Amino acid sequence: MENFIVSARKYRPSTFKQVVGQESITSTLQNAIKNNHLAQAFLFTGPRGVGKTTCARILAKTINCLHPTEDMEPCNECESCAAFNNNASFNIHELDAASNNSVDDIRNLVDQVRIPPQAGKYKVYIIDEVHMLSQAAFNAFLKTLEEPPAYAKFILATTEKHKILPTILSRCQIFDFKRISVDDIAAHLAWVAESENINVDKEALHVIAQKADGALRDALSTFDQIVSFSGDNITYKDVIENLNILDYEYYFKIVDYILNGDTSNLLLTFHEILENGFDGQHFITGLSEHLRHLLVVKDVATLKLLEVGPALKEKYRDQSTRCNPGFILKALDLTNKCDLSYKASNHKKLHVEIVLIQLSSMQWTPQQQTAQVERPSQPQTTIQKTPAVASDVKPASGTSVAEPKAAYPTPEAKKAETKPEAQSKPVGDEQATPKTEVKKPVSTRVNKPQNGNGERNISNVSIKSTLDALKRENEKTETVEAVIATEFNQEQLEEVWQRFAAGYKEKSPTFGSAIEKYKPELSESYKIRMKVDNMIIAKDVLNMAALLEFLKKELNNNQITIEPILPGKKERKVVLTDREKFEAMAKKYPGIKQLKDQLNLELDR
């Protein structure tokens, strides 16, 4: 049985041309070799798995190659290249700074630098993870790095450039490696699959490339994992199942339901996603990314930002034509807020469902939005404004008298139907008992909504319309209420005031005593003014509804109002300087000024 070699090692680039996604860096290094402009030290920095160590090895191999090609690539045939390929080169040394980060390790390296190469042009030292070196090790390395022998070249590699001393950075030629694009990773994976005789879908390769997040080594490791799972035939379904990735189709369905205002299927689909083992936050972040793709695909200039396969790109373009840009922006804002507050929510499923319902309601038509407000007002209108008309309408066989009564049959309504004389009252009598006639249909409308089959009809319940109806009825009641303004004088007011204070002392002795202490003063328009000591007592008086109600009832005047009055503010004391104080005292006592002159005293400036 042959030893298995992972794809990241088996297909590791051996020439600059094979390096994926770093064309600017490789071309710069090739030109430097060709023009003999090699720096004494290089620093390769960038995220993991983008080719830093690989480029360092290819550079070391190329500058020691005896017969490089015209493109400055190693020939892979000379003695130096053969020794490097067999890991037997004495001119190329690799040091892992993560495990060799002490001062002694660097001193041993400095001692080796003093020995010239026995064969070849250069001795190359590749120090990986150089940011792991200690402070003392960096200091011990400074002098050698600044003035190395002509045959010594240093190549430092790190993922965290900010941890390296500025004195080290100033002595190196820095190359920043970038993340590899999804298309480049997918193309390289397709080449590896072809070399291994593996059939794979293009969409599956794009999913693997997106999962790698710009790291080619991670993509190759994931590719090996998928091959172990599905064998020589890799499909899109195999990839999303093995990597636990939510299928794109779910997001397309979710957006379709949102556009159609289909809240029921929207919530059922989300429940299905949770049943499949996916996290709610994972779903909401995926939905945000899907909405971002729909926005990006709308403009040809930003189409290149959509890093998906050709078939999937067409699906995004088709769905984006049915989405308004304003809707997408509002939806992105909602999903982003949901993502930020997801961890703080105690009911995470409900937290996401509320956002989905909000997204769905954005696409409701004006008729859908106003239907729940208009329907509840029909029973109120029928009973209150046209009672006489309702009794004149003759129902057809098998039907009820009026549509609202059929939709909301209540016990009160049934009693009204059996008593025609109750509905044949004149319109003028209706105002005498407005509360009874209006509140009954409103209360039964909320508590017992039913459809024609006798079942509860929840879809027609509207709390907003019920509150509006109550508000309108209260306003109407206030307008119908008669104005009572019986005249009274100051003595009558004080007598009633004392009676309230005496009776209230039993409930609250403190407040009762305060009411008794502050005497009322009758002003114009039945306004009662009372002087209080501070604003706290004034607020207590204003909030004392029982006092106002008692005065209105005992004095038979519903126009009475109470106004607390605070005492006038005292004159603020003026702060004086020392000179001003002396002048004030000199005016009052002239002898002080004479004493100052006799003693030749001076005031401080």
pTM beyond 0.75: the answer is: no
The topology under which CATH files domain 248-364 is Zinc Finger, Delta Prime; domain 3 (1.20.272)
- Collect contacts of 188-192 with beta carbons under 8 A, ≥24 apart: 188/20, 188/216, 188/219, 189/219, 189/220, 189/223, 192/7, 192/11, 192/220, 192/223
* All residues at 6 or more sequence positions from 128 whose CB lies less than 8 Å from its CB, including other chains: 53, 94, 95, 96, 97, 98, 157
pLDDT confidence band for 247 (50 / 70 / 90): confident
| Helices 463-480 and 366-374: angle between axes, nearest 10 degrees | 50
Region of residue 354 (left: phi > 0; alpha: psi -120 to 50; beta: else): alpha
pLDDT confidence band for 434 (50 / 70 / 90): very low
Question: For residues 343 and 311, which has the higher predicted lDDT (pLDDT)?
Answer: 343
| Count of beta carbons in the 10 Å neighbourhood of residue 472 | 15
Distances (CA, A) of 538 to 417, 530, 543: 54, 9, 9
- Report whether pLDDT(373) > 60: no
Looking at domain 182-242, its CATH class is mainly alpha
| Residue among 144, 131, 111 at smallest CA distance from 41 | 144
The span from the CA of 547 to the CA of 577, in Å, is 52
- Report whether pLDDT(521) > 60: yes
pLDDT confidence band for 366 (50 / 70 / 90): low
- Report whether pLDDT(384) > 90: no
Any idea how long the chain is?
605
Which pLDDT score, from 0 to 100, does residue 288 have?
92
Question: Which of the listed CATH numbers 3.40.50.720, 3.10.20.600, 3.40.50.2000, 3.30.300.180 matches domain 490-565?
Answer: 3.30.300.180
Strand order in the sheet with 152-158: 92-96, 123-128, 152-158, 41-45, 173-176
Which pLDDT score, from 0 to 100, does residue 468 have?
66
Which pLDDT score, from 0 to 100, does residue 325 have?
86
Condensed to tens digits (0 to 9), the pLDDT of residues 192-246 reads 998 888 888 888 888 888 888 888 898 999 998 888 888 888 888 888 888 878 8
Per domain, the residue ranges of the chain are 7-176, 182-242, 248-364, 378-393+400-476, 490-565, 572-605
- Say if domain 7-176 classifies as CATH 3.40.50.300: yes
Condensed to tens digits (0 to 9), the pLDDT of residues 115-130 reads 888 777 888 999 998 9
List, in sequence order, every beta strand (DSSP E) within 97-243: 123-128, 152-158, 173-176, 199-200, 233-234
- Report whether pLDDT(530) > 80: no
Look at 68-72, 269-273, 418-422 and tell me which has the smallest mean pLDDT.
Answer: 418-422
Condensed to tens digits (0 to 9), the pLDDT of residues 33-75 reads 988 888 889 999 999 888 899 999 999 989 888 888 888 888 8
The span from the CA of 404 to the CA of 311, in Å, is 53
Which pLDDT score, from 0 to 100, does residue 395 have?
42
- Quickly list DSSP for 443-498: HHHHH--B-TTSSB-GGG--HHHHHHHHHHHHHHHHHHSPP-B----HHHHHHHHH
Mean pLDDT, the chain, integer: 77
Tokens of residue 576, six digits: 């004086």
